[in-house]
Structure 1
């Protein structure tokens, strides 16, 4: 930081001291100017003219009022203007008392708006100039009288320019602050969306595999004594389900790693190409699942493919949790125009399926959020005569692309 910058900061931190220094400088200039005779034979003479005592008093009053120019600019202008008016009418009109009024007018213009500057500036200029021309001892066309117009105009213009510059700088700062706040809000929104997405993935992974582990562990405990071979098979399924859960949890949590972490997962997200594998895990847990596909095996966008997989996974997990392994589930994947429709039906008892909405879990909520994120629709509810139905419509292509193709 340079010496000039440090001095500027100190002056800004003590505005009263700065105003006192300014008042002292104006006082010195007015006192010196009152002793200078510009009408001498040699041009400028020193000590030839001595100002009236009243002029010296008015000079001190005008300069002293400038100390309070920031706190009460209009009041200070009234005091300095009155002193200048008295000087121009009764005193020596060549004493530069009007300098204090010019500084006060500059302060008013810098501290108020442009309309106030125009009104106050014109009144000050008109009163001081008119009084000097009409009631002063000098001729109306004297240069001292004409100088009042010039100096008051300069003071008002300079103050208005400073005020305009300050307003422009403040506007730039406000825009920068708003832009910074907007960036921070956008960053917070993206973080919240990413946290919600990761929470949905964690819920889908944990709910699916833990439900399988729970069922298979129950089967193993039930047949451990009578049918140890079947118990070993159930425990093998438990081990496989837990291994799959750990792998998917590792892949999901890996998204939280830094981008430069070499251990970040590179395996693609699951999709409908792993539907048979997914259904196989439920079948191995004892749930009877039938699959019907009429999607022509078309490639889907990654977000749509993942959403379809997760909807089926969560729906079948709910069937197993709420309807038991004795229920039967049907999964259909159908391509209808620009959309792909996912339907999961089961024949569980109505009392068993009521918990899907009222159990306080996040399964159906997570499905709705996931489907809504890709502009799809999800409908869920009990079936007539028992069971539950989950139906999702996922847009494969945007509506704009469809309209362009049909045009």
Structure 2
């Protein structure tokens, strides 16, 4: 607004000093341009109304078109296409008319000729020696600069906003990805611990059953069984504490309460099942350290889940476990037991343990199939060697 008022006063001063403009023309031009300068406050809210006000002065009176250029700058930042073209043409005409008025002033009072070479002293002073196209050319340059500057600023603002939105989206994606990874890891650990607890509780149930049967006949066996119940319950409690820690996010996802459960722990796992009263045989030609850590852990989990299911549904049958493999062939796990004629000691489960194992083996590129084959329940699993 200040710039518009300054330019208006300067243009009217030059016109008055030139002496070739009527006083009424100057007065009306001053009032219109001062009103337009005040209206510039609302150029962003009502740009077209303000533009109409700013065009009245320079189109019909000897005054400047600075206010119209300011409004055009505001319009060019938001409008495109035909609306912007219409505004630019209107302001161009206003500027051209205003500069034509300026060109018709005396040489010393024309903005277009102030920098021109002055006549020598005593030589006649020309009143107007500018080519008719110059005011129109200057008007076109002014409009082009204003529109180009506004569009450039708008483009930079859009680029900055897009970059900010991209950074925000990248940050949100990173946070979501980290949360998904944490959730998947917690789910995996919780699934492992669930299966471990299920195995521990199944052994406790079998120990308790043996204690009930042999309690009166063999005091020494009662003591041993009670000790195994206590040890198994203690391990199960540690596992449960770890589950709670994982789900709360306070425990390390990679930590396991019972140490590393890999291929070297399978024999101990089978021995524990035997102590619980399960008939189990184990054949393996793999040695600790031969296979990858993840493959070893999944092998342990397959054996553990199979022993748990046998304890639940075929505790009177022998479960045969065979684990073999080589670096170029992978790991083959074959576990089978005859179907029991006795009713299961527990209600049928949901099958989540086997489904979870199937997901684990698939995640590392292996396969797992489990089901009834003839008169046997068979678990057949293949795992990569170095996973």
Q: TM-score, normalised by structure 1?
A: 0.75
How many residue pairs get aligned? The number is: 355
**What corresponds to 2:379 in structure 1?**
390
In structure 2, what is the Cα distance between the partners aligned to 1:136 and 1:28? Answer: 17
Alignment of 1:104-115 (within 5 A): 104-113=71-80, 115=81
In structure 1, what is the Cα distance between the partners aligned to 2:206 and 2:267? Answer: 20
**What corresponds to 1:220 in structure 2?**
211
> Do 2:207 and 2:225's aligned partners in 1 also have CA atoms closer than 8 Å?
yes
> Structure 2 vs 1, CA of residues 66 and 369 (structure 1 numbering), >3 Å: closer, same or farther?
same
What SS does the corresponding residue of 1:344 show, helix, strand or coil? strand
Structure 2 alignment gaps of length 5 or more: 105-129
Task: Find runs of 4+ consecutive structure 1 residues off by over 4 angstroms.
Answer: 38-41, 48-51, 115-118, 129-137, 142-147, 246-259, 264-268, 350-356
What SS does the corresponding residue of 2:371 show, helix, strand or coil? strand
Q: TM-score, normalised by structure 2?
A: 0.78
Q: Work out which of the residue numbers 47, 65, 69 in structure 1 matches 2:43.
A: 69
Query: More deviation in 373-382 or 116-125?
Result: 116-125
What SS does the corresponding residue of 2:356 show, helix, strand or coil? helix
> Do 1:35 and 1:49's aligned partners in 2 also have CA atoms closer than 8 Å?
no
Partner deviation per Cα, 1:242-295 (whole Å, 9 max, x = no partner): 244345556777776577xxxx87985111112111100011111111112244
In structure 1, what is the Cα distance between the partners aligned to 2:178 and 2:351? Answer: 29
Structure 1 alignment gaps of length 5 or more: 1-22, 399-407
1:127 aligns with 2:93: yes
What SS does the corresponding residue of 2:280 show, helix, strand or coil? strand
1:158 aligns with 2:149: yes
> Do 1:319 and 1:329's aligned partners in 2 also have CA atoms closer than 8 Å?
yes
**What corresponds to 2:295 in structure 1?**
304
Shift of 1:154: 2.7
Alignment of 1:4-403 (within 5 A): 23=1, 25-37=2-14, 52-81=26-55, 83-84=56-57, 87-88=58-59, 90-92=60-62, 95-96=63-64, 98-113=65-80, 115=81, 119-120=85-86, 122-124=88-90, 126-128=92-94, 138=104, 141=132, 147-246=138-237, 268-295=259-286, 299-323=290-314, 325-335=315-325, 337-349=328-340, 359-360=349-350, 362-385=352-375, 387-397=376-386
CA root-mean-square deviation = 3.6
What SS does the corresponding residue of 2:197 show, helix, strand or coil? helix
> Structure 2 vs 1, CA of residues 116 and 267 (structure 1 numbering), >3 Å: closer, same or farther?
farther
In structure 1, what is the Cα distance between the partners aligned to 2:257 and 2:226? Answer: 30
In structure 1, what is the Cα distance between the partners aligned to 2:82 and 2:165? Answer: 25
What SS does the corresponding residue of 2:305 show, helix, strand or coil? helix
Query: More deviation in 376-385 or 67-76?
Result: 67-76
**What corresponds to 1:403 in structure 2?**
none
In structure 2, what is the Cα distance between the partners aligned to 1:278 and 1:195? Answer: 24
Shift of 1:31: 4.1
